[in-house]
Amino acid sequence: MSDRHGYDLHTHSVHSDGTTTPTEIAVEAASLGLEGFALTDHDTIVGWDEARAAASAAGLDFLPGIEITTRHAGRSRHLLGYGVRAGSPELATALAEVVASRVGRARRMVERLSADYDVTWAEVLGEDETRTVGRPHIADAMVSKGFFASRAQVFDEVLHPASPYYEPTYAIDTVDAIGLVRAAGGVAVQAHPAAKRMKAPVSREELAEYVAAGLWGIELDHPENRPEWVPALASATEELGLVVTGASDYHGAGKVNRLGERRSDASVVEAIRAAVATPR
Ligand code: AMP
Ligand code: FE
Ligand code: FE
Ligand code: ZN
């Protein structure tokens, strides 16, 4: 009998805006006593093979995942997709469009910043040109150049949406993204529906729209969810028949979130796998 418990179903590696490799996540997950984890890098699945091999070597279960950059009615929404087929051409095409747009948008933000700060695109992009680029990488460059102390401080001062340096990125409509996840055989989960950085939590009406499109679960147990917003969402969740997931949204040193600080029970992962295996 193993006394390992729970899965962390939301983690980021160096393939997006995390600071640790999939292998390091697996090793840390094992030392924390997790049963398994999902790798959910932003808009990319390139870390899956390494994560799967490292999980197996560490005696852990691995669930392939992704966090898709979406928007609905002008609001930014992150959608988790579990068990999507790696080769799905429609999903791959849509994600390639998001990643390409991210590069152009980040370049333009860096261009504006470079008028006031000595920072270059090369410094932001770094060596790995395949990773999903975002504001965190701009923040990291600004921190290494000594202009700010932390990612969080750069976000607070120059990278927030109201900043003159900011530019939004192209995002898939959330309803369409749910359709893409389902068409790729996966299970769609609304990420951090009450994140404190949001002006308002995802509403019941909005959730109902997503459920009609095939949304399966909701990440009600997330360290950044504002506790005051959770009870209303919990009743909507029950009413709409959504499954609740728990996860840390680990980003290595990029965020204060600690790996495994929120977890999902193995039964949730079994339910995900059953849903993935059942054609809808
Ligand atoms: P982007 O998708 O490029 O607009 O960047 C958004 C990402 O930045 C999110 O996925 C978060 O991981 C990260 N992020 C947002 N706010 C902060 C913050 N205050 N500190 C560190 N990372 C943040
Ligand atoms: Fe992130
Ligand atoms: Fe997110
Ligand atoms: Zn995330």
Rounded mean pLDDT, 64-84:
98
> Is the pTM above the cut of 0.75?
yes
Q: What are phi and psi of 273, to 5 degrees?
A: -65, -35
Predicted confidence at residue 131, as pLDDT, reads 96
- 60-82: burial string, b at 16+ Cβ within 10 Å, e else: bbbbbbbbbbbbbeeebbbbbbb
252 ligand 1 Cβ < 6 A: no
Residue range 50-79: mean pLDDT, rounded: 98
pLDDT tens-digit series, residues 118-131: 999 999 999 998 99
| pLDDT at 277 (0 to 100) | 84
> Is it the case that residue 173 has pLDDT exceeding 50?
yes
The per-residue pLDDT for 68 is 98
Q: What is the pLDDT of residue 2?
A: 61
pLDDT band, residue 3 (cuts 50/70/90) = confident
Atom of ligand 1 nearest to the CA of 152: 20
pLDDT in tens, 208-261: 999 999 999 999 999 999 999 999 999 999 999 999 999 999 999 999 999 999
CA distance 134 to 132: 7
Q: Whose CA is nearest to atom 18 of ligand 1?
A: 152
12 C-alpha to center of ligand 2: Å? 7
The environment of the single-atom ion ligand 4, i.e. residues with CB closer than 5 A, is: 67, 249
Q: What is the mean pLDDT of residues 188-210?
A: 98
Contact (CB, 8 A) for 160 and 168: no
Over range 41-62, report the average pLDDT.
Answer: 98
Pocket of ligand 1 contains residue 134 by CB under 6 Å: yes
Q: Does residue 14 have a pLDDT over 60?
A: yes
The reported pLDDT for the residue numbered 1 is 43
- Number of the ligand 1 atom closest to the C-alpha atom of 251: 12
Give the max Cα distance, the chain.
Answer: 60
Ligand 1 neighbour 152 (Cβ under 6 A):
yes
User: Is 262 near ligand 1, meaning CB less than 6 Å away?
Assistant: no
Write the pLDDT tens digit of every residue in 144-165. Answer: 999 999 999 999 999 999 999 9
Provide mean pLDDT across the span 59-82.
98
131 lines ligand 1 (CB under 6 A): no
User: Is residue 80 within 8 Å of 188, Cβ to Cβ?
Assistant: yes
Ligand 1 atom with least separation from CA of 168: 4
Instruction: Confirm or reject: Cβ of 216 under 6 Å from ligand 1.
Output: no
Say yes or no to pLDDT of 188 above 60.
yes
Please determine, for residue 279, whether its predicted confidence score (pLDDT) is greater than 80: no
